[in-house]
Amino acid sequence: MSLIRAALLALLLGARWAAAAVEIVDDSGQRVRLAQPPQRIVALAPHVTELVHAVGAGDALVGVDSASDFPATVKALPRIGDYSRIDVERVLALQPDLVIGWASGNRAADIHRLRKLGIPVLLTDAHRLGDVARLLRVVGMATGQRQRAATAAADFEAGLAALRARYRAARPRRVFYEVWERPLMTVGGRHWISDAMALCGGRNIFADLTAPAPVVSIEAVLARAPDVIVAADDGPDIAAFWARFAALPAARQRAFVRVDAAALNRPTPRLLDGAAALCAALQSR
């Protein structure tokens, strides 16, 4: 009888292991295999930290990048560098069983080294508004929080649908989004901020550019004559810079808008708040 019970127990444990095991192809095309939900996670970018919390796996975070600041509890976690340069030795000291990074931001050399050391690395990337829901589901799958992630993703998609319905008849506005002044940088048409503009009648004047953050010239901005100029609240003083160009529609109308950088610049559920604030500002100008 004891042999039978042992065999049944082995079958049960095997079934549980199989149910817990996960295999994911990440946004860099790499296959990531996890035998069980991770207990110690390191996040290499602020949006990753937020996504991990959004799916209910925040308690497993043991380290984050230097810019992670939401939710407030992550400020007490060890820092492992910034998105552009990771302190690999510090990551190793935290003994993670999963590192989640940013495919477009983290240095390829850092990611390669972590993988060579045998640490599973899941890379995420986002280009469109809809990618937030997809990333929630991916992070939920990797962290063993599929149901919480599915709920968070559905809530995000419902919020987007509500914004689209609310601003369906919004008047069109030609918009220049200034990421930085020197060099003069904006967002191209394949960026979620461009999608957020379109959500409420905004037309990105550089939507024809495919680079996510292209450098443009002052002359190009003047030629495309935006009605509104937008910048993040931690970015350049757009009013002081652009007001001197009297021929610019945005300058004549004093149509300069500042938006919450953290809400709009990170592909997380808070992007809904950023998009809603951007829509309200665009339609008030």
Q: What is the DSSP string of 154-165?
A: HHHHHHHHHHHH
Instruction: Please calculate the CA angle 57-58-63 and round it to the nearest 5 degrees.
Output: 120
**Which pLDDT value is given to residue 2?**
53
pTM of the model: 0.88
Q: How far apart are the C-alpha atoms of 196 and 228, rounded to whole Å?
A: 14
**Which pLDDT value is given to residue 46?**
96
How many angstroms separate the first and last alpha carbons of the chain? 79
Give exposure, 110-144, as e/b (b: 16+ Cβ within 10 Å).
bbebbeeeebbbbbbbbbebebbbbbbbbbbbbbb
Which amino acid is present at 97? D
Q: Where in the chain is the domain with CATH 3.40.50.1980?
A: 2-156, 169-284
Which of these, 54, 133, 63, lies nearest to 98 by C-alpha position?
63
**Which pLDDT value is given to residue 190?**
93
Which of these, 113, 129, 132, lies nearest to 121 by C-alpha position?
113
Q: How far apart are the C-alpha atoms of 281 and 274, rounded to whole Å?
A: 11
Sheet holding 173-178, edge to edge: 202-204, 173-178, 228-232, 256-259
pLDDT tens across the length of the chain (285 residues): 454 454 444 444 443 434 568 899 999 999 999 999 999 999 999 999 999 999 999 999 999 999 999 999 999 999 999 878 999 999 999 999 999 999 999 999 999 999 999 999 999 999 999 999 999 999 999 999 999 999 999 999 999 999 999 999 988 999 999 999 889 999 999 999 999 999 989 999 999 999 999 999 999 999 999 999 999 888 778 998 999 999 999 999 999 999 998 899 999 999 999 999 999 999 887
- Say yes or no: domain 2-156 is CATH 3.40.50.1980: yes
Helix, strand, or coil (residue 83): coil
Helix, strand, or coil (residue 231): strand
For residue 194, count CB atoms less than 10 angstroms from its CB and return exposed for 0-12, middle for 13-18, buried for 19 or more: buried
Say which residues have a Cβ less than 8 Å from residue 169's Cβ, sequence separation at least 6.
Answer: none
**Which pLDDT value is given to residue 5?**
52
Fold (CATH) for 169-284: Rossmann fold (3.40.50)
Please give the full DSSP string across 172-192, using - where no structure is assigned: PEEEEEESBTTTTB---TTSH
Q: How far apart are the C-alpha atoms of 238 and 10, rounded to whole Å?
A: 66
**Which pLDDT value is given to residue 11?**
41
Q: Helices 271-284 and 192-199: crossing angle, nearest 10°? A: 50
